[in-house]
Amino acid sequence: MCHRRWLPSDHRWRSDTRSFVGHHEFRAAPVSSSGEEILQQLDNTEFLVDNDVHGPWKKKSIFFMLPYWEHLLLRHNLDVMHIEKNVCDNIVGTILGQEGKSKDNYKTKLDLQQMGIRKELHPKKRPRSNITFMPKACYQMTRGEKTQFLKILKSIKPPDEFSSNISRCVQLNERKLIGMKSYDCHLLMQEFLPIALRGTLPDHKIFPPSFFTVMVHLVIHLTREVRLGGPVAFRWMYPIER
């Protein structure tokens, strides 16, 4: 997935082969395409209403037709609000093992097997049986850890107008979080998650490849956008949607 390419050249994770399945990463980050290069790619793309055969693109944005678009340094504005919510859903769904939200499932284990990494997490068959089971990963909580984690969130009593009542999202019997809004995810990531997770998970940097969705990858580009566009508080969607 090569996300280490965006780290500083002397960062210790670049040479960490133990945590990153035997591979080091000394390549520089890819060079961003210029506006002119992007427009050239668009000129060679066919946009059709029914474009199932030719590709996923249905229409060409009107912003590409602006005469100054190719000269802008910040040609797109990534919305931190939605990115943060999707990353939060990935993390919470995976550590709690919520069905439909967890990024760790049987297909993920098969991906690891095909990639030849993390052999301890490959699907295994029980002795004298054809039953296949999935070994527990270090980032997955036990039932007791889930209960402890959710009880902490259930007991949080923030000051008035600081946040919504996040305890309403906690389902202790089913051991899951449901119905979290964007601002709930924001506070969970910024304030509550480090406290609630303390002492429940090991200090590892391991997540399955399927965890790194497009939204997780976009986090890498947020720092560049802050340098170009300024504080996110003036560019995210909270004032508009909330």
Question: 20-33, pLDDT tens digit by residue?
Answer: 777 888 999 888 88
Domain limits for position 162: 80-104+139-214
Q: Residue 68 has what pLDDT? A: 92
Q: Residue 56 has what pLDDT? A: 65
Query: Is residue 114 within a helix (H) or strand (E), and if so which, with residue range?
Result: helix 106-115
Q: Residue 157 has what pLDDT? A: 84
Q: What is the DSSP letter of 45?
A: -
Both 28 and 100 in a single domain? no
What is the longest distance spanned by two Cα atoms in the chain?
Answer: 69
Q: Is 160 inside any structural domain? A: yes
Both 14 and 91 in a single domain? no
- Helices 80-96 and 143-155 pack at an angle, to 10 degrees, of 140
Q: What is the DSSP letter of 19?
A: T
Q: Mean pLDDT across the stretch 131-150?
A: 88
CB environment 96-106: b (16+ within 10 A), e (fewer): bbbeeebbbbe
Both 146 and 163 in a single domain? yes
Both 16 and 91 in a single domain? no
Per this entry, what is the length of the chain?
242
- Going by DSSP bridges, is the β-strand pair 176-177/170-171 parallel, antiparallel, or unpaired? antiparallel
Q: Mean pLDDT across the stretch 75-91?
A: 90
Question: Average pLDDT over the chain, rounded to whole?
Answer: 85
Q: How far apart are CA 237 and CA 242, in angstroms?
A: 8
List of residues 6+ apart from 123 with CB closer than 8 A:
106, 109, 110, 113, 132, 133, 134
Could you tell me the pLDDT band of residue 168, with boundaries at 50, 70 and 90? confident
Q: How far apart are CA 17 and CA 14, in angstroms?
A: 8
Question: Is residue 50's pLDDT more than 60?
Answer: no
Q: How far apart are CA 153 and CA 148, in angstroms?
A: 9
Q: Is 126 inside any structural domain? A: no
Q: Residue 57 has what pLDDT? A: 67
Both 198 and 93 in a single domain? yes
Identify the three-state secondary structure at position 4.
Answer: helix
Smallest CA-to-CA distance from 3 within 226, 202, 211 is with: 211
Both 164 and 55 in a single domain? no
Q: Mean pLDDT across the stretch 202-216?
A: 81
User: What residue has token string 């439909």?
Assistant: 100
Percentage above 70 pLDDT, the chain = 94
- Total domain count, the chain: 2
Q: How far apart are CA 138 and CA 199, in angstroms?
A: 13
Q: Is 97 inside any structural domain? A: yes
Both 96 and 156 in a single domain? yes
Question: Is residue 47's pLDDT more than 80?
Answer: no
> How distant, in Å, are the alpha carbons of 18, 112, 114, 131, 140 from that of 126?
29, 19, 20, 6, 21
Q: Is 235 inside any structural domain? A: no
Both 160 and 207 in a single domain? yes
Question: Is residue 51's pLDDT more than 60?
Answer: no
Could you tell me the pLDDT band of residue 55, with boundaries at 50, 70 and 90? low
Q: Residue 68 class from Cβ within 10 Å (0-12 exposed, 13-18 middle, 19+ buried)?
A: exposed
Q: Is 169 inside any structural domain? A: yes
User: What residue has token string 């990494």?
Assistant: 117
Q: Mean pLDDT across the stretch 155-166?
A: 81
Question: Is residue 202's pLDDT more than 80?
Answer: no
Q: Residue 130 has what pLDDT? A: 81
Question: Is residue 102's pLDDT more than 60?
Answer: yes
Q: Residue 211 has what pLDDT? A: 87
Q: Mean pLDDT across the stretch 162-177?
A: 86
Q: Residue 88 has what pLDDT? A: 93
Rounded to two decimals, the pTM is 0.83
